[in-house]
Structure 1
Amino acid sequence: MDRKPRPGDFYRHFKDKMYQVIAVAVHTETEEEMVVYQALYGSFGIYVRPLALFLSEVDKEKYPQVKQKYRFEKVDMGLVQPEKGPCTVTTEKKNEENMGNSGQSQGNPSSAPNPRENKNLLAFLDAGTYHEKLEVLEDRKDRFSAEELLAICEIMEIGRPDSEPEEKYYAVKRYLELQNKYEGARLR
């Protein structure tokens, strides 16, 4: 199986933080392939790392308690496993275990991925600035599911997981307004 990341793919770092791949670039001097990726939490920083290191296995001597095999493991943001919580994503490996040779999900037909695939969440994550994220949030206020709002709160590390969806919405909105205000003031 080709593990090379593609733009738009989501990955979980072994320290349990989420990232989205922006591109696989080539270093101009060494011609080494580099992964350009963005954090899906905090200030949404953008980072670059050599492809070989991005795809490497976790050093089990240095981090013996880590259960994840690879430093970064691909996740499918469209799949949900309700038994683990309302917004738990599954790893690509678990997804493959549930697939037959034909690529069709086996067993319960209700376990098939939702064709909607959290399009409101994806629109929010694709927005580049705090201002754009706030616009997506406000434009789609009544269309965000409780699971999508929970995912946004978890990614941004804000709000309480046990709060109502409306509380989560306003926590995200306040956070984005605050970030937008201070980011705009910094540019003046």
Structure 2
Amino acid sequence: MKKEKPKYKQIVDAAVIVIADNGYHQAQVSKIAKQAGVADGTIYLYFKNKEDILISVFQEKMSLFIENLQEIIQEDTTPSEKLRLMIENHFKVLSNDTFLSRVTQLELRQSNKDLRLQINSILKEYLDQLDAILVEGVESGAFSKEMDIRLARQLIFGTIDEVTTSWVMKDHKFDLNSQASKVYQLLLNGIKA
């Protein structure tokens, strides 16, 4: 499997930096190779093309969010607390990697429709986990029984996403992590029983 090859992660990490600095359309494979410290041809041992690199970047980096959220869901705590931890985790992952935040919040949105569809299928696993928290909250009585799970998911993820985009657009000038408790309170007030 290509993910187990030694230079794969090196190239993915380099791609995040190059795409963040140059934009997806200006991020040449040769720049990614140079950043990764590999020959241009080495890239093609791991990836079909630049689009494949971007999808792999998103897949690899999204796994951070997904793995952390899986751990949160397994915790013996309330659905409200799981929601808070999810929001904190989302902001923490992106605030710890400003290159990744620029790629996820800006560059992925400028990609073509086919690319966005592939990215959405990766994102679906994360959103399914958010749904699990919401369903647990409704079933336990912590969240409103009348809540529309799909709409609540869109509002929660959309809010988290918009706050992050605003942070990126303002060149990381405010502390993203400090927004977590404010976002959590606003969202919780909208869905609690």
TM-score (norm 2): 0.29
Choose between structure 1 and 2: higher strand proportion.
Answer: 1
Q: RCO greater where, 1 or 2, for CA within 8 Å and sep 6 or more?
A: 2
Normalization by structure 1: what TM-score? Answer: 0.30
